[in-house]
Amino acid sequence: MKVGDQLPEFAVPSVDPARMKTMAAVLRDPYRVHWDREATREMGLEGRVINQGPLNLSYIVNMLHSFSGPTSVRRLTVSFGRPVFDTDSVVAGGEISAIEGDRATCAVWLKRGDEIVVSGTAVIDISHLH
Amino acid sequence: MTVVSPLGYRFPGGTYTIAHWENWLLTDCTTAGPLPDDLAHPVALFHVPILGAGTSITTLFEVCGAEGPGSVGLDGYDWEYMRPLRVGVEYRMEGSIVRWEQLVDERGHPYDSMSFSIEMFDAEGLAARITNTWRFRRRKPEDSTGATS
């Protein structure tokens, strides 16, 4: 493992609006844009519902889990640039930018095609990967 | 619309225990399979601190003057995990709104930028800390296409 290594990608071929509804219930999220197509029609978005930010981030987390295991995530610092809509195809990726002791810092992102919709950094525990 | 600054607004505080069912559903929503050893999915760090601190997304929207579909946007998260989150563990939460700024976006539309921080404690001490930043747009909903909560 070294700086510059790419992390294995995690793909979501089609963002599922049914999962957004379940997520809204789990989060107790009243924001209609996640589950009511009429709300997004009012916004001029042709009735496509908008994926929750935590779900967009979860694809990055799942990518990290695939690489370093389910107890490895220590810090996530991310910015949300663009909304993700139902049926969008997105891919989470990352690259190791620094290694210090048992911690690796990674640049992470979520892309829709070539467009970055979420970006930031993750710190992961790599002690069990040495 | 001008909203009275909620800077310093303290959440009531409280406790929260992640249930097996909610972690299962949450993890399924991420398209991943269940995690081993009662591990909670790390994105539980969105709703668990909010609800555990004795507040809700609804209350935050009210306090910050959300105006309807498209009026709330998501700018960023900074989430720290001192150790992995677990199902069945009681966490104690405390936090407040720590930042409130009136800003203008690149298209000249005004918005209020709000950050809130919550700390989560378990029996060993600080277990996790979050700072989330949301924007509250002060313009007509039909103009909006931004990311959301």
Residue pLDDT, tens place only, B14-73: 999 999 999 999 999 999 999 999 999 999 999 999 999 999 999 999 999 998 888 999
Q: Which of A20, A42, A58 to mutate to test the interface with B (most CBs of B within 10 A)?
A: A58
Confidence of residue B144 (pLDDT cuts 50, 70, 90): very low
Confidence of residue B139 (pLDDT cuts 50, 70, 90): low
Taking contacts as CB-CB distances below 8 angstroms, the residues of chain B near A45 are: 145
pLDDT score of B147 more than 60: no
Lowest mean pLDDT segment, chosen from A14-23, B32-41, B85-94, B102-111: B102-111
Taking contacts as CB-CB distances below 8 angstroms, the residues of chain B near A29 are: 47, 57, 149
How many other CB atoms sit within 10 Å of the CB of residue A124?
Answer: 26
At which residue do the structure tokens 């677990």 appear?
Answer: B86
**Mean pLDDT rounded to a whole number for chain B:** 92
pLDDT score of B102 more than 90: yes
The CATH topology of domain A6-129 is Thiol Ester Dehydrase; Chain A (3.10.129)
Reduce the DSSP state of residue A99 to 3 states and report it: strand
Distance in angstroms (rounded) separating the CA atoms of residues A42 and A67? 41
Longest dimension (CA), chain A: 52
CATH architecture of B14-143: Roll (3.10)
pLDDT at B146: 45
Confidence of residue B145 (pLDDT cuts 50, 70, 90): very low
Domain spans in chain B, listed from the N-terminal domain onward: 14-143
B69 to chain A, closest Cα gap in Å:
6
Rounded mean pLDDT, B7-18: 97
Q: List the strands of the sheet with B72-81, edge to edge.
A: A6-12, A90-100, A103-112, A115-125, A73-80, B72-81, B125-137, B110-122, B90-104, B14-17
Question: What would the pLDDT profile of A54-95 be if each residue is shown by its tens digit?
Answer: 999 999 999 999 999 999 999 999 999 999 999 999 999 999
Question: Residue B145 in contact with residue B119, Cβ under 8 Å?
Answer: no
